[in-house]
Amino acid sequence: MTSPAPTSPEQWTAVDRYFCDLLLAPDPTLDAVLIASSESGLPAINVAPNQGKLLHLLARIHRARTILELGTLGGYSTIWLARALPADGHLITLEADPKHAEVARANFARAGVKSLVELRLGKALETLPQLVAEGCGPFDLIFIDADKPNYPEYFQWALKLSRMGTVIIADNVVRKGAVLDPASTDANVQGARRFNEMLAAEPRVSATAIQTVGSKGHDGFAIAIVVVDPKR
């Protein structure tokens, strides 16, 4: 068999498939979750399987007991994260779209994580203040994977819901390399740029960002740990 051309999207996808086949056990439940999401008309913008496993491992490494997720979609990444929780753990996921929420809830039941997950419906910039007002958190791990123009505001709220040691992960911060363009008219790019700049200027966190290529194309994620009491 002829190998795909080096550095091509086809090569990235093939490498992803190689690692998924090698390191991820077959999982009919997660396969069914993706099928159900697709059949319900949800966009195929969920994390790749190996990225889901990365989230799962990061949550386990951090021994997370409480997780906050911004952007549920069909619940695929939510399930990966929920599976990392202990039996008495808790995950709150925020979703603005009622249809997405309906599909996700069915997927949580399908995956057997319904008791661990609380889905809150509504725009995150409205539900996040509610979490603070209710005294929710601090969370051990926060995953931001929602609308990109609001990433800077999401990061500010994430800090309010953090403690020293909280891990904050933000997906899609590379935008196919478009973050290099300060003149971009793409609101998603500008949101990612403002978030990245805010991350760099925030003394209460230590952070890095990694660009990735794979079945989801050229993108990347940022990861930060809160190193100073975020209430200061």
Residue 2 lies in a domain: no
pLDDT at 97 over 70: yes
Taking residues 215-221, report their average pLDDT.
94
User: Domains in the chain: how many in total?
Assistant: 1
CA gap 215, 11 in Å, rounded = 9
Looking at residue 22, what is its pLDDT?
96
Residue 102 lies in a domain: yes
Looking at residue 187, what is its pLDDT?
97
pLDDT at 1 over 80: no
| Cα 156 from chain centre | 16
Residue 154 lies in a domain: yes
Task: Look up the domain containing 18 and give its range.
Answer: 9-226
Three-state SS for the chain is CCCCCCCCHHHHHHHHHHHHHHHCCCCHHHHHHHHHHHHCCCCCCCCCHHHHHHHHHHHHHCCCCEEEEECCCCCHHHHHHHCCCCCCCEEEEEECCHHHHHHHHHHHHHHCCHHHEEEEECCHHHHHHHHHHCCCCCCCEEEECCCHHHHHHHHHHHHHCCCCCCEEEEECCCHHHHHHCCCCCCHHHHHHHHHHHHHHHCCCEEEEEEEEEECCEEEEEEEEEECCCCCC
Looking at residue 231, what is its pLDDT?
81
CA gap 12, 1 in Å, rounded = 17
Residue 137 lies in a domain: yes
- Whole-prediction pTM: 0.95
Residue 146 lies in a domain: yes
What CATH number corresponds to the domain at position 144? 3.40.50.150
pLDDT at 27 over 60: yes
Looking at residue 6, what is its pLDDT?
64
Taking residues 164-186, report their average pLDDT.
97
Residue 75 lies in a domain: yes
Residue 25 lies in a domain: yes
Residue 4 lies in a domain: no
Taking residues 152-172, report their average pLDDT.
98
| Average model confidence (pLDDT) across the chain | 95
Looking at residue 2, what is its pLDDT?
57
Taking residues 2-10, report their average pLDDT.
71
| 97: nearest Cα among 129, 128, 68, 71 | 71
